[in-house]
Chain A
Amino acid sequence: MTLLLNAISEAAVLAPLAVGLSVIYRMSGVINFAAGAVAITAAYTSVELGNGPVGVIVALLVGALLGVLMYATTILPGKLLGAPHVAMTLATFGFAVVLEAVGHRVFGGVSTAADPWLQGSVEVLGTTLTYQRLVVISIGVVISVVVILLFDRTMIGRTMEACAANEPLARLYGTSAGRYHLLAWAIGGFCSAATGVLQVAIAGVSVALSMHLLLLALVAAVVGGIRGLRSTALGVLLVAALGALVARYLTTEFILTPIFVLLLVALYLRPQGVFISSTTSERV
């Protein structure tokens, strides 16, 4: 039961980050290597502001703003100059470096944790479940579900899909593609920030955690199938479950290694993603 709870709360924390990666990949064809850094920056921001409702909301807005800033400074120039997607992906890596360095100057290099929002706990099937953890799980799930519904069920999502598939055509039909790119990056930044805030709410963060979080979310998205938001979310569950199992039965020192092995095996066996049932191999 503890195992299950650990897996679920890990998944709830990671899910927004992975969904944000998937949103940006679907829209811009770019993998956002700075997502982890955005998460950590948001976490520090929230803690700096007391981690109350105000702090959390400001932190989420900072995340969205960073997403927009990243699109404007890192993606747009490359796009105008005709840089390939993979080059822009590396450019986001540069953004991550800058963001981490700036964060280091502003917040200092120490790791941080926050006071819980709620005290108390409840017994569930013989395991103690703190209210804090329950809230964190709920927030992670709600944000992920809302973003998934926004993309898969609304006109905004369909328009974004149209821009992603054929931007010149979408423009021809009067869509302001630039605005939708901005929206996607804002949502991507917002999602990353959500993961950062949730992470600091149950465990604490340090600068070194940014690459760690990024890798977990990246593996989840790729293993699940980064083209789809729901498959990405399922991938998060898979990664969280594996992480919890390994921590319980194998080792607590090597967290990323088994996850990385999962990535290699999954790419070999099902390159399109475990939870995508398409017959066309998108990645070839």
Chain B
Amino acid sequence: MSFLSKTLLRPDLAVHVAIPAALLALYAFASGDSYMTYLATAGAISYVLTASFNLVFGYAGIFSLASIAFYGIGAYASVYAENQWGMPFWLSFPFAMLVASVFAAILIFPTSHLRDIFIAIVTLGFAVTAIEVFAQWDEVTGGAGGIYLIDPPSIGSHTFLGGDPSYLLFSLFVVWAVGELTWRISRSGFGRKLIALRETPRALAASGVNDAKIRFAVFVLSGALAGLAGALYAHFQLIISPEAFSISRLIELLLATVIGGAGTFLGPFLGVLVLILIDEVGARMGDLEPIVYGVAVIVLMSVGRHGVANLLARAWQQWSPVRPTVSSATSATVSKLDEEVLTPEGLDSSRPLLVVEDVTVQFGGVRAVSGVTLALQAGEVVGMVGPNGAGKTSLFNSITGEVTPTSGDVLFAGRSILNDAPHQRRKRGIGRTFQLPSLVPDLTLVENVMLGGEIRARAGLLRQSLFSRVARADDRSRRAEALALLDELGLGDRARGRASDQPYGVQRLTEIARSLMLSPALLMLDEPGAGLTEDERGHLAGVIEHLRRRHLTVIVIDHNVSFVASISDRMVVMDSGELIADGAPKDVLQVERVVGAYLGSEAAAHG
């Protein structure tokens, strides 16, 4: 969660009261004067559009340029449905949202798993193509001239005429609803997943969350909200033409979002204010305006996503360091948790938990893993050593699904998991950490650990977005579990600190805690000790001992042979892609090839 939710807007109640109060005050202030009414309505619509863009760009970090097209699609769709099919506005507005979100789905479906720059290309392409369609498809959009015959919405005898105070009130109601929704998302597990997607997608992979699904969901939701903004716009102006959905409008939207503060709740509100100010100034700049806008885009993109809201939040934080209150874990939940993890479900202790059968991993001409066979018994702690490039991490990746083996099979709890995606394997009970730390820097430690519990969330994305009762209950129990786990690993007093502020060793241990949230049967740690101080390493050894007592099956890669020997029941050694030794630590260290792999063959011969 951003600074804001922790500081400025910490009390939920304040938002539920302050936002409607501010909107009503705005109405009272603006409704007396027709120009102010016009300005406020335009601002309200801009807010809805900016908020939709902020979700996808600010929170999720997706560089989408298509929002302006969804805005246009919403406008045309609502008008078309009314003019051609006689739909009333309370149907045509949802229809506009539906059409926009369907286009969003078509757009994101082939691209959600691609790198971010390709989403930027596709969305820019869509925005440009949409402008062509708006200008050319005469039967639906009225072509370049646009549509002049738009009926203002009405209920019974009352008409909400664009520019009237009543339409302003209607728009402000939508602002309230959208604001409430984004507030709830920013508080929920969905919001945490969005921030993880933006900052550290790997953290989602480690938590068993399918990042493509999150990207899809937020993109479609944002498309729907942009469509809503478009419908509002069409019925405000009562005239629409392609210019309203042009590239220059897109630039304004981008500026409003970034200047206001991308990825913050207040950002879109501030951004719209900034935009209105810029517009007032811009009207006096004449044709200098696009130049100023363009330069602003260059500067802001180079500097990063720090807008007005973030600056304010930082200042506020320095002035009054507020600590968020978190419902503390009760002792009852802790003991329950212990039991849960002690008995991973559906395990048969008579056969090995994990079987790697003759697995080979080949990258082009390089054979990283070559015919490795390995079995792990339930409850074992196995250490894996080997020189750099021996294929240890590749073997890990083929077990956890980050890499598909060229041949061979991987069985977990008796069944092949080769066809499962990485996040599905996490759900089956294979937790892992990566060589490089993969915490989300902007979240606190406890929030990071909570990510690991997402796969057990009862509330789906929809209920998480609405932050429903079930989602809140989920959140509370998850938070209690996460705190308990951090306590267990000796990090309880740091739980509420931001991940980026923590020392390296704490970050590594937090990743283990996050993996434990998956209730794994097997935990795979990839060099958890790398870069740790002697003290931290001692702490890590204690943690692994603790995992053993929980009867977790653990496999640890590390380069420190004596460290691995001291913590493991069994040691395996890899060299040049092959498994060259497997047995009790003291025996393995005597094997000639192991000594050879570490000290050179001559030392082995002399030894």
Contacts and interface: CB of A to CB of B under 8 A. Distances in A.
Interface string B284-312: 00011011011111100111100000000
Contacts of A211: 128, 131, 247
Interface in A63-118: 73-74, 77-78, 81, 83-91, 93-102, 104-105
Interface string B257-283: 000000000000000000000000000
B290 A101 contact: yes
B95 to A, nearest CB: 22
Contact of B304 (A81, A85, A219, A279): A81
A215 interface: yes
B294 A87 contact: no
A283 B122 CA distance: 13
A33 B248 contact: no
B502 interface: no
B436 interface: no
A222 B293 CA distance: 28
Interface string B44-76: 000000000000000000010100000000000
Nearest to A264: B110
A256 B120 contact: no
B14 interface: no
Contact of B254 (A31, A90, A102): A90
Contacts of B106: 264
Interface in A187-235: 211-212, 214-215, 218-219, 222
B116 interface: yes
A74 B302 contact: yes
B128 A97 contact: no
A85 B121 CA distance: 13
A280 B293 CA distance: 40
Query: Which secondary structure characterizes the binding site on chain A?
Result: helix
Nearest to B291: A101
B118 interface: yes
Contacts of B109: 268
A97 B363 contact: no
Pick the most buried of B110, B114, B290, B298: most chain A CB atoms within 10 A of its CB.
B298
A146 B426 CA distance: 51
Nearest to A37: B294
A157 B116 CA distance: 26
A84 B65 CA distance: 17
Pick the most buried of A29, A260, A279: most chain B CB atoms within 10 A of its CB.
A260
B110 A94 contact: no
A201 B290 CA distance: 29
A94 B294 contact: yes
B290 A97 contact: yes
Contacts of A222: 118, 121
B133 interface: yes
B251 A97 contact: yes
B126 interface: yes
Interface size range on A against B: 35 or more
B559 interface: no
B296 A94 contact: yes
Contacts of A218: 121, 124-125
A83 to B, nearest CB: 5
Nearest to A263: B125
B129 to A, nearest CB: 4
Interface string B343-377: 00000000000000000000110000000000000
A217 B422 CA distance: 36
Interface in B237-264: 247-248, 251, 254
A283 B118 contact: yes
Contacts of B131: 211
A73 B298 contact: yes
Nearest to A253: B136
A53 to B, nearest CB: 32
B117 interface: yes
A284 B290 contact: no
Contacts of A219: 125
A280 B114 CA distance: 13
Contacts of A55: none
B53 to A, nearest CB: 13
A214 to B, nearest CB: 8
Nearest to B135: A253
Contacts of A214: 128
A100 B294 CA distance: 10
B115 A283 contact: yes
A88 to B, nearest CB: 7
Contacts of A88: 301-302
Given A93-B124, A257-B129, 11 more contacts: A83-B304, A85-B117, A90-B120, A94-B296, A97-B290, A218-B124, A254-B136, A260-B125, A263-B122, A264-B110, A284-B114
18 contacts: A29-B117, A31-B121, A78-B302, A86-B63, A87-B63, A87-B301, A88-B302, A94-B296, A102-B291, A215-B124, A218-B124, A255-B132, A257-B132, A260-B129, A267-B118, A267-B122, A271-B114, A283-B114
